[in-house]
């Protein structure tokens, strides 16, 4: 086997178990000891290939084998290879001299590769270069064979600012500002208006106070009230300072039939001591939101309003942030899109300014409701009410959850609040989508299959190897993704991703009913003007279309992303100005599609990200292509060496070696000849701007939000970068990701006419779900992030994204077989199911370990059987705004002990998943909701009842050995199933099945939706209704979709009495087609294909039993 420094060759890790022959490495060869394969599939050891980079001990545990490989051996092997190739006929002395020279050269290269050549430079937000002239012609060594300029690390450093919430000297607006006074109150047909004026001298604490405001209250629908506060006098010049254009983010509209007396709300106001407003629920007289006791602060760069919250509140939403599902006290949610990893409690990729507030009440004999902050009495009966609050504002925001309430701060815009009455959480989500942000995009059927991705797949041949390995181990695979970023978006690399091989690859892929999705980053490479071969037609056509963001002086804004210095599409200017960005984008995608027939698009880096502050590329394009100002994963000095917690328990020696390597790597830069850039700051050096009369401080607003990158111009477009029409990035930053999804959706509508666009995006805003799905971003291969994937998914259900998933097995760091087994099974119940990880880490396709193969196949068998059910849920979400992944508390709203339950979840209303989320565990604690009210649960695997003797809210210990994920079926539901295939297309041609779980009254019902799975407006559709009772199962189809697959079997769970006879449409069903298990109370109907040879749903039918 040829030596491979990553030990990651397809041959070695094609899935066969390996044993090593005890041979030595002979001088002059480039071979490690021969590998012999055994028949069993997979590798049940920790795959520590990355450790060979530093010569770590490879202890694969479990008595398979142990190999110690040193870097010296790797270097020696490579040296001998080079030496033998270059000097095969020299004498002994010459050979020795050549060998020493070769080894010296290798050592020098190694030192160069581990050096960090990143001199310091100035930084700023404006056009001039941030790189000192003396440094511009200095080439930093990278892994490229050609010296490549590296953008200096200092280029991405802005002002040293301190978040206001961390600054003990920061002014408290509630103490220094005067508030407002209301006057001229006028009733309208569906609400009222008022004038608001400063109640004292302006405080100008974090901006310029707006002296005169207008209040508008509209009872827009029975379940929705709108409250808006904005400046009374707005000019065209400052309109976008305060108003979010409806053409970008539509406003909910009034129901002409709604009047105040029909509303679920009561809205009042007061001037005691200053203006405040209060929103109450009419049915309960419960105050949902009130600014009473606080002051309204309204400035051109700072707005603050405060409302108390009830004791022990239950709030959800306000994203995108990695956190548990239920939000607690002493929590700050920053809403500012940022290119970061999944850092816990920091702002990441999207902005979703909406929250749910659920409150539990007890009811006395008279029906009076009493708020129950600590509702832990399992014998009491509770009623819950959920309301939603949505702030239609795209400016940078900060929401503080501190006792006694919620403080909402925004750096611009207006107070544009919408309250939703619920009373169920599902009602809030549905009405929010219907009225404000739009219903979710309907996905193609195949997108529910399994997706495999990797940052670092190097070409078509590598993708084909992955596909072949999935087929070899009989693991379903639907889609492979282009995990290597293309230097030029819309233009494949001609060496590894050329179009000729690509079309051949696509033909094979599509013939097998599989798919390919490429990545499209959000920045456009700016070619080197001094390099005639460095041409990029996409960029040139963009210049002609005036499609790019500019500097304040009208010149092109050049940032830096993966390929080097780049430009950025001007989405705001395309809508509000005259930029030709959208037409240009559509044309580029159309051109690309003619060269390669992709099946969807993955939009990344769309917060939008830039690796330098300001227009750092201005004057520096001759340095392109440039390396980012940081080392990529896997590059020398940035090897991926971290493993999950508990790794030492399964691979002690390897864990020790990895730890030593991490320490060595962390000290590595200090031993290099070229020092790295270092900066030190103290609290004395923090920069803080002050309000300027009559002007806004755009780049450094006086109020500093708690942003991950600190300065809001760091790792992003400069706030003063300018869109066509003179609009500033400061006012629209959070909408970049939203608008690129909009444009991409429009492009795919034209490229793939009549087909539902498939898009997965990273940067999102309220309403992006109507165009795209979302994945959770750059998570970690750690057990904590296995758990966090659930609250992430539930939060995005609130935000209107049913098509959600995370990077299964973890993106950053190295996974292991136990974590990956658990994760592959958990993600099988997420709508978007994709395995993805960073380059430099170990390979983590599920066929890499035999235990993961087994776990994956087990979970995928369930998922693919459930695809018709999941597709029906997705359809209902698209048509009515319902959710797919659901919190237990949503389905069982009167059980307060479920308020923070986020380690279990529902898939629709029929399937409950209780995953094991802890390393080394073989059991898991779980509740069975509703048992106190007669709910029945069935084990997916045994089909028997599991809720006997379980009390309300009781945590039950459930067996969950590695490879098993507990799944339960809710009584009262009929779940349509289809025999799983290797692809969704194959599955759709297989026979049907029905899984019936009778409830406590012996009833069940369900639905199935059918169409062609791809059409934007399908002409043939069918809805099939299922009803069941103690003595019948009835099917009623409605529609014209021509499905001819037969029914093979049906299972009725919870049937207490053995049938004496079974009939199909009045005719006796022979005994060989049914059986009854009295121990499990299960009626099985099987081998029915001949009875339904024309199709299971072509007409109605009924099975009865006595």
In the chain (1106 residues long), the average pLDDT of successive 10-residue segments reads 28 28 27 28 38 31 32 38 37 40 41 35 33 30 57 95 96 98 97 98 98 99 99 96 98 94 97 98 96 98 98 96 94 98 96 98 88 89 97 99 95 99 98 98 99 94 97 98 69 81 96 97 96 95 98 98 97 98 98 95 97 97 96 90 85 79 65 38 73 96 98 98 98 99 98 98 99 98 98 99 99 97 99 97 97 98 99 99 99 97 99 98 97 95 90 94 99 99 99 98 98 98 98 98 98 97 97 97 97 97 96
Q: Strands 833-835, 807-808: parallel, antiparallel or unpaired by DSSP?
A: parallel
Q: For residue 1104, is it within any domain?
A: yes
Catalytic positions, please?
604, 607, 778
| pLDDT attached to residue 940 | 99
- The residue whose two tokens read 């049913």 is 802
In a 3-state reduction of DSSP, which class is residue 280? Answer: strand
Identify whether the C-beta of residue 409 lies closer than 8 Å to the C-beta of residue 399.
Answer: yes
How buried is 796 (Cβ within 10 angstroms: 0-12 exposed, 13-18 middle, 19+ buried)?
buried
Q: Strands 191-198, 804-805: parallel, antiparallel or unpaired by DSSP?
A: unpaired
Secondary structure of 580-591 in HEC code, one letter for each residue: CHHHHHHHHHHH
Q: For residue 1080, is it within any domain?
A: yes
Helices (H), ranges, 114-178: 173-176
| pLDDT attached to residue 484 | 59
Identify whether the C-beta of residue 776 lies closer than 8 Å to the C-beta of residue 869.
Answer: no
What one-character-per-residue DSSP string does 53-80 give?
Answer: GGT-EEE--TTS-EEE--HHHHHHHHHH
Identify whether the C-beta of residue 925 lies closer than 8 Å to the C-beta of residue 956.
Answer: yes
Question: Domain with 1092 in it: what CATH number?
Answer: 2.60.40.1180
State the total domains in the chain: 1
Q: CA triplet 702, 705, 710: central angle to 5 degrees?
A: 95
Identify whether the C-beta of residue 219 lies closer than 8 Å to the C-beta of residue 225.
Answer: yes
> Full-prediction pTM beyond 0.85?
yes
Q: Residue 286 CB: number of other CB atoms within 10 A?
A: 15
Q: Quick one: CA dihedral 575, 580, 585, 587, positive or negative? A: positive
Q: For residue 431, is it within any domain?
A: no
Distance of alpha carbon 106 from alpha carbon 860, whole angstroms:
47
How buried is 1079 (Cβ within 10 angstroms: 0-12 exposed, 13-18 middle, 19+ buried)?
exposed
Q: Residue 577 CB: number of other CB atoms within 10 A?
A: 16
Closest among 32, 11, 71, 9 to 639, alpha carbons compared: 71
How buried is 231 (Cβ within 10 angstroms: 0-12 exposed, 13-18 middle, 19+ buried)?
buried
Distance of alpha carbon 823 from alpha carbon 803, whole angstroms:
18
Angle between helices 425-432 and 783-799 (to 10 degrees): 60
Q: For residue 1057, is it within any domain?
A: yes
| pLDDT attached to residue 104 | 41
Q: Is the peptide bond before 608 cis (omega within 30 degrees of 0)?
A: yes
In the 8-state DSSP scheme, what is residue 352?
Answer: E
Closest among 805, 720, 768 to 607, alpha carbons compared: 768
| pLDDT attached to residue 645 | 87
Domain with 1042 in it: 991-1106
Distance of alpha carbon 868 from alpha carbon 1009, whole angstroms:
8
Under 8 Å CB-to-CB from 474, ≥6 apart: which residues?
857, 982
| pLDDT attached to residue 53 | 32
Distance of alpha carbon 1084 from alpha carbon 950, whole angstroms:
26
Q: For residue 539, is it within any domain?
A: no
Distance of alpha carbon 324 from alpha carbon 792, whole angstroms:
8
Identify whether the C-beta of residue 710 lies closer than 8 Å to the C-beta of residue 314.
Answer: no
In a 3-state reduction of DSSP, which class is residue 941? Answer: coil
In a 3-state reduction of DSSP, which class is residue 240? Answer: helix
Under 8 Å CB-to-CB from 457, ≥6 apart: which residues?
463, 466, 480, 481, 482, 483, 484
Closest among 1024, 1085, 1012, 1025 to 1052, alpha carbons compared: 1085
| pLDDT attached to residue 330 | 87
SS3 content of the chain, % helix, strand, coil (to 5): 25, 25, 50
Q: Strands 1082-1085, 1074-1077: parallel, antiparallel or unpaired by DSSP?
A: antiparallel
Q: For residue 1072, is it within any domain?
A: yes
Q: For residue 1000, is it within any domain?
A: yes
Q: For residue 1050, is it within any domain?
A: yes
Q: Residue 659 CB: number of other CB atoms within 10 A?
A: 16
Q: Strands 382-391, 397-402: parallel, antiparallel or unpaired by DSSP?
A: unpaired
What is the torsion angle, in degrees rounded to the nearest 10, for the CA atoms of residue 741, residue 747, residue 751 and residue 753?
A: 80
Closest among 797, 762, 860 to 338, alpha carbons compared: 762
Distance of alpha carbon 1038 from alpha carbon 423, whole angstroms:
32
């Amino acid at each position: 086997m040829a030596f491979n420094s990553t030990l990651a060759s397809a041959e070695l890790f094609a899935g066969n178990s390996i044993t090593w022959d005890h041979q030595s490495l002979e001088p002059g060869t480039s071979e490690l000891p021969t590998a012999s394969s055994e028949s069993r599939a997979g590798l049940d050891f920790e795959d520590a290939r990355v450790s060979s980079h530093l010569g770590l001990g490879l202890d694969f545990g479990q008595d398979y084998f142990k190999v110690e490989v040193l870097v010296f051996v790797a270097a020696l092997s490579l040296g001998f290879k080079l030496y033998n190739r270059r000097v095969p006929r020299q004498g002994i002395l010459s050979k020795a001299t050549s060998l020493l020279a070769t080894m010296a050269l290798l050592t020098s290269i190694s030192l160069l590769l581990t050096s960090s050549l990143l001199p310091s430079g100035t930084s700023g937000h404006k056009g001039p270069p941030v790189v000192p002239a003396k440094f511009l012609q200095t080439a930093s060594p990278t892994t490229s064979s050609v010296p490549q300029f590296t953008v200096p690390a200092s280029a991405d450093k802005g002002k040293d600012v301190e978040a206001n919430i961390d600054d003990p000297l920061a002014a408290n607006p509630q103490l220094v500002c005067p508030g407002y006074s209301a006057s001229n109150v006028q009733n309208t047909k569906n609400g009222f208006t008022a004038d608001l004026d400063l109640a004292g001298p302006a405080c100008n604490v974090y901006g310029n106070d707006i002296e005169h405001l207008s209040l508008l209250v509209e009872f827009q629908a029975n379940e929705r009230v709108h409250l808006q506060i904005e400046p009374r006098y707005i000019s065209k010049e400052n309109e976008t300072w305060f108003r979010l254009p409806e053409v970008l983010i539509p406003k909910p509209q009034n129901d002409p039939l709604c009047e105040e007396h029909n509303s679920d709300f009561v809205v009042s106001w007061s001037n005691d001591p200053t203006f405040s407003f209060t929103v109450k629920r009419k049915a309960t007289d419960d105050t949902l939101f009130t600014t009473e006791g606080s002051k309204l602060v309204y400035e051109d760069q700072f707005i603050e309003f405060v409302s108390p919250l009830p004791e022990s509140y239950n709030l959800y939403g306000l994203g995108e942030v990695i956190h548990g599902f239920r939000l607690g006290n002493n929590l700050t949610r920053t809403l500012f899109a940022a290119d970061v990893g999944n850092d816990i409690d920091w702002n990441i990729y999207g902005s979703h300014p909406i929250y749910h507030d659920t409150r539990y009440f007890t009811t006395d004999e008279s029906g009076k409701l009493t708020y129950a902050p600590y509702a832990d009495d399992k014998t009491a009966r509770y009623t819950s009410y959920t309301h939603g609050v949505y702030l239609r504002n795209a400016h940078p925001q900060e929401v503080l959850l501190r006792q006694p309430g919620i403080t909402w701060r925004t750096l611009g815009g207006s107070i544009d609040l919408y309250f939703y009455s619920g009373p169920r959480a599902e009602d809030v989500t549905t009405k929010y989508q219907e009225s404000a942000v739009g219903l979710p995009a309907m996905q193609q059927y195949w997108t529910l299959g399994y997706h495999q991705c990797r940052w670092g797949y190097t070409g078509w041949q590598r993708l084909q190897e992955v596909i072949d390995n999935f087929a070899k181990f009989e693991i379903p695979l639907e889609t492979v993704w282009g995990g290597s970023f293309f230097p030029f978006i819309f233009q494949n690399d001609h060496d590894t991703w050329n179009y000729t091989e690509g079309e051949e690859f696509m033909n094979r892929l599509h013939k097998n009913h599989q798919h390919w999705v490429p990545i499209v980053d959000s920045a456009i490479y700016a070619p080197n003007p001094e390099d005639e071969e460095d041409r990029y037609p996409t960029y040139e056509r963009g210049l002609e279309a005036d499609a790019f963001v500019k500097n304040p002086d009208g010149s092109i804004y050049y940032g830096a992303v993966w390929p080097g210095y780049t430009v950025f599409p001007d989405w705001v200017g395309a809508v509000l100005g005259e930029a030709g960005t959208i037409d240009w984008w559509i044309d580029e995608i159309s051109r690309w599609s003619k060269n390669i027939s992709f099946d969807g698009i993955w939009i990344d880096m769309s917060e939008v990200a830039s690796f330098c502050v300001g227009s750092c590329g201005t004057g520096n394009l001759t340095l392109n292509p440039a390396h980012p100002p940081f080392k990529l994963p896997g590059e020398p000095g940035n090897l991926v060496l971290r493993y999950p917690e508990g790794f030492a328990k399964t691979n002690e020696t390897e864990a020790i070696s990895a730890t030593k390597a991490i320490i060595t790597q962390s000290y590595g830069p200090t031993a290099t000849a070229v020092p790295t850039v270092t900066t030190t700051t103290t609290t004395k050096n923090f920069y803080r701007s002050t309000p300027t009369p009559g002007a806004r401080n755009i780049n450094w607003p006086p109020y500093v939000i708690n942003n991950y990158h600190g300065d809001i111009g760091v790792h992003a477009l400069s706030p003063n970068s300018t869109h066509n029409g003179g609009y500033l990035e400061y006012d629209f930053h959070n909408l970049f990701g939203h608008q690129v999804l909009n444009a991409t959706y429009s492009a795919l509508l034209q490229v793939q006419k009549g087909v539902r666009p498939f898009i997965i995006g990273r940067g999102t805003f309220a309403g992006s779900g109507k165009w795209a799905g979302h994945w959770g971003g750059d998570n970690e291969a750690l057990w904590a992030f296995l758990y966090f994937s659930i609250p992430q998914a539930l939060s995005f259900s609130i935000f209107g994204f049913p098509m959600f998933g995370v990077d299964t097995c973890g993106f950053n760091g190295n996974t292991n077989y136990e974590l990956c087994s658990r994760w592959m099974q958990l993600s099988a119940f997420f709508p978007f199911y994709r395995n993805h990880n960073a380059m430099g880490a170990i390979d983590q396709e599920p066929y890499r370990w035999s235990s993961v193969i087994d776990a994956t196949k087990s979970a995928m068998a369930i998922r693919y059987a459930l695809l018709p059910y999941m597709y029906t849920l997705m359809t209902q979400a698209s048509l009515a705004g319902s959710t797919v992944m659901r919190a237990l508390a949503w389905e069982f709203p009167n059980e307060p002990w479920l308020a923070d339950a986020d380690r279990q979840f529902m898939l629709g209303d029929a399937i409950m998943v209780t995953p094991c989320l802890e390393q080394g565990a073989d059991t898991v604690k779980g509740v069975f909701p509703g048992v106190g009210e007669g709910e029945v649960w069935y084990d997916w695997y045994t089909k028997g009842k599991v809720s006997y003797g379980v009390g309300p809210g009781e945590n039950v210990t459930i067996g969950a050995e590695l490879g098993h994920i507990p799944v339960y079926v809710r009584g009262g539901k009929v779940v349509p199933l289809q025999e799983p295939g290797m692809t969704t297309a194959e599955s759709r041609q297989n026979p049907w099945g029905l899984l019936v779980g009778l409830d406590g009254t012996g009833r069940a019902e369900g639905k199935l939706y059918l169409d062609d799975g791809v059409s934007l407006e399908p002409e043939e559709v069918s809805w099939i209704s299922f009803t069941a009772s103690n003595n019948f199962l009835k099917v009623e189809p409605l529609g014209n979709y021509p499905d001819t697959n037969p029914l093979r079997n049906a299972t009725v769970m919870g049937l207490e009495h053995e049938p004496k006879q079974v009939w199909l449409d009045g005719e006796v069903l022979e005994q060989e087609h049914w059986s009854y298990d009295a121990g499990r109370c299960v009626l099985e109907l099987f081998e029915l294909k001949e009875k339904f040879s024309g199709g299971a749903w072509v007409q109605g039918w009924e099975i009865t039993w006595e």
